[in-house]
Amino acid sequence: MSTKLQSRGEKATRAGFGEALLEIGSDEKVVALCADLTESVGMKKFAEKYPDRFFNIGIAEANMTSIAAGLTTTGKIPFIGTFANFATGRSFDQVRQSIAYSEKNVKICASHAGLTLGEDGATHQILEDIGLMRSLPHITVIAPADFSETKRAVKAIYKHHGAVYLRFGRPAVPDFTTDDIPFEIGKAIELNSGIDVTIIACGVMVWRALQAAYKLEEEGVSARVLNMHTIKPIDVQAILSAAKETGAIVTAEEHQINTGLGDAVANVCARSFPVPIEMVAVMDKFGESGTANQLLEKHGLTSEAIIQKVKTVLKRKAMTA
């Protein structure tokens, strides 16, 4: 199945969110709320087309979070949009009590996540959001890989009854995923088959994982690539198959090494089928100003870094064999 996926050009994941939100807006149950970032997060077209069902709450994200929870009590499906930092870190207690504990059907749509937010710097570059959200019961956590997958994810979470944290980003990134494999919440997508090692990635690191796998193939290493778009509930079966069939795992994410995808994967393996695991992530540091690519480079979130971790994990695999 290893037809190499190609980029069809670069598009922002937030634009995918905006397009899909506009489409599902035909359902009158769908309402959208934003905290003074309407254009930035991709909600402008929805706001223009459905002004009665769009509420700008101003710079008050905690308030917006609880308002959305209240809207669900009248049968609405609220999509709230803001930067990931404000959607999670700033509003954690509101997400916890008003949404997760109260089991409300709110879709928390968080843009500008991670280092790729770029020049604004560390104050806005949240790298802890996946950890914050996946620590909460009753909440689904999704980080799509590109524009097209973000669109599919938005349509999937609209149909799914329950709280969702959807993480996407600011910059234009390669758009490469296809409709061949339908987007199913909680089900990882195998983008490249392989038998020596599995690279498990989410968000912008999926493209880099693929580039790493293609390069490794030239070097004679067969790397499976899993697009783990849903971090919670994590696809335990796909992880355990990877562990059993390839015997080594490298995770890759635009997030702190603590509490993110890597921890989620390691948790599954440690409890059921331990194999050597290496992690590509931000090493317990805050970000800084710079372009998205400069920051990814500086913090080691590249396909080259993934290749290095694959080589390390393969050595460990050989030692334990």
Asked whether the CA dihedral 9, 253, 294, 302 is positive or negative, the reply is negative
Q: Which of 23, 39, 61, 253 is catalytic?
A: 61
61 part of the active site: yes
Task: In angstroms, give the least distance from the CB of 144 to another protein.
Answer: 27
Q: Choose between 90 and 208: whose C-beta lies nearer to another protein.
A: 90
Binding site for another protein (CB under 8 A): 28, 31, 52-53, 55, 57-58, 60, 62-76, 78, 93-94, 96-98, 101-104
Q: Choose between 98 and 148: whose C-beta lies nearer to another protein.
A: 98
Q: Rounded CA gap, 146 and 169, in Å?
A: 9
Q: What type of residue is 15?
A: A
Q: Residue 292's closest CA among 14, 4, 7?
A: 14
Q: Choose between 72 and 303: whose C-beta lies nearer to another protein.
A: 72
**Tokens representing residue 37 in the block:** 């970032």
Q: Rounded CA gap, 264 and 91, in Å?
A: 23
Task: In angstroms, give the least distance from the CB of 103 to another protein.
Answer: 6
Q: Choose between 133 and 238: whose C-beta lies nearer to another protein.
A: 133
Q: Choose between 69 and 213: whose C-beta lies nearer to another protein.
A: 69
Residue 278 phi, psi dihedral angles, 5° rounding: -120, 155
Residue 260 phi, psi dihedral angles, 5° rounding: -100, -150
List active site positions.
61
